[in-house]
Amino acid sequence: MADWVTDKQYTRQPDLIERFGPLGRMRTKQDSLYTLNYLAESVLVNSSTLFIHYVSWLKVLLAGYKVSDEDVRVNLETIREAIVEKFEHPDKSLVLKHLELAMNEPASPTPSFIKPDSPLAAEAEAYLKALLDGERRQAVAIVHQLMDEGVPVKALYKHIFQATQYEIGRLWHNKTLTVAQEHYCTAVTQSIISSLYPHWIGKGHKGLRMIAACVGSEMHEIGLRMVADTFEMEGWDTYYLGANVPDQSIVQAIVEYKADLIAISATMTYHVHLVRELIMKIKAEPSACSVKIMVGGFPFNLDPNLWQEVGADGYAPDAETTVSLAEELVTPIINS
């Protein structure tokens, strides 16, 4: 279908060849594949919000590559024609509905994630600057000085690390940052988070156990790691598996670790159906099915009903709010 869409779009807009050269055609096909993938996911998990958000996000991203909103509109229109002509499936009208709802969604540039009035804003700006200047020592010094001044680790996680990671994502999205800069900033932050462990890590005292894992080929793991660390700070024992874990290994770990709760994270929207599949596998395993299941990450923050759609017991938008909800969920098990 992506081939058909690409051919049709180049017939409709012959100037694309001059504007983007021979590689442009390949990119149009690649982007069309991505778009079809996001559209399919939004239908699979019954969330038109996901595809609507994708279209406005895509317009911002592609503007950085001189692809206009009109080019994107023609692409979506061509995809619509391809579905009408080539797609035979009982859900065809649903697919078209999701596509049409998003078709005219405007680009939505995001303001900075470091708000001047949020706590530690000046420090977050200084930390971001150190990262962007490639000054790892300076970034380390800023964080360790805040620790020495008594700023709680949870506040560092939220107002320094999370805020700057979101801001780095925004700057990559509007093409202010290169991929290499984003990787560098992320690597520095991960190493600093690790360097803080000796300052706060202790023995779990609540007798509660949780496992944390990302689904499928999900590579975004820092949010989940912050969630697991926050449980640990609150006296839980945690078993953090990180990114890209096979479903069967997760189910087995729940059983072997005797987990009270599992935290499942997905960032890429097209991984949400994998969260649902994993939850079904957990519920089908008699020795794992009593575990409480929480989900979170980018798509769940976009659509507040999505956690129910995938069959979870709960969802929280960030690390800070996750633990209290988790304790409400597991308390009935502990008391029974």
List interacting residues with ligand B12 (CB under 6 A).
54, 57, 162, 165-166, 168-170, 172-173, 182-183, 186, 217-224, 226-227, 263-265, 267-269, 294-298, 301, 315-316, 318-319, 322
Residue 281: CB minimum distance to ligand B12, A: 17
Judged by CB, which is closer to ligand B12: 7, or 320?
A: 320
Nearer to ligand B12, 5 or 226 (CB): 226
Q: Measured from the CB of residue 10, what is the shortest distance to ligand B12 in angstroms? A: 23
Question: Toward ligand B12, which CB reaches closer, 5 or 163?
Answer: 163
13 vs 27, which CB is nearer to ligand B12? 27
Minimum distance from residue 250 beta carbon to ligand B12 (Å): 13
Q: How near is the Cβ of 93 to ligand B12 at its closest, in Å? A: 25
Residue among 85 and 328 whose Cβ is closer to ligand B12: 328
Q: How far is the CB of 161 from ligand B12 (least distance, A)?
A: 7
Q: Which is nearer to ligand B12, 27 or 206 (CB)?
A: 27
Taking the complex as a whole, the smallest distance from the CB of residue 270 to ligand B12 amounts, in Å, to: 8
Three-state SS for the chain is CHHHHHHHHHHHCCHHHHHHHHHHHHHHHHHHHHHHHHHHHHHHCCCHHHHHHHHHHHHHHHHCCCCCHHHHHHHHHHHHHHHHHHCCCCCHHHHHHHHHHHCCCCCCCCCCCCCCCCCCHHHHHHHHHHHHCCCHHHHHHHHHHHHHCCCCHHHHHHHHHHHHHHHHHHHHHCCCCCHHHHHHHHHHHHHHHHHHHHHHCCCCCCCCEEEEEECCCCCCCHHHHHHHHHHHHCCCEEEEEECCCCHHHHHHHHHHHCCCEEEEECCCHHHHHHHHHHHHHHHHCCCCCCCEEEEECHHHHHCCCHHHHCCCCEECCCHHHHHHHHHHHHHHHHHC
| Minimum distance from residue 123 beta carbon to ligand B12 (Å) | 17
Query: Is the distance from CB of 215 to CB of 278 less than 8 angstroms?
Result: yes
> Between 217 and 308, whose beta carbon lies closer to ligand B12?
217
Cβ contacts of residue 194 below 8 Å, gap of 6+? Answer: none
Tokens for 166, please give them. 């979101």
Q: Cβ closer to ligand B12: 263 or 330?
A: 263
What is the C-alpha separation between 54 and 298, in angstroms, rounded?
12
Q: How far is the CB of 103 from ligand B12 (least distance, A)?
A: 17
Contact predicate 263/210, CB 8 Å = yes
Shortest approach of ligand B12 to residue 334 CB, angstroms? 19
How many other CB atoms sit within 10 Å of the CB of residue 242? Answer: 16
Residues 316-325 as b/e (b if ≥16 CB within 10 A, e otherwise) read beebbebbee
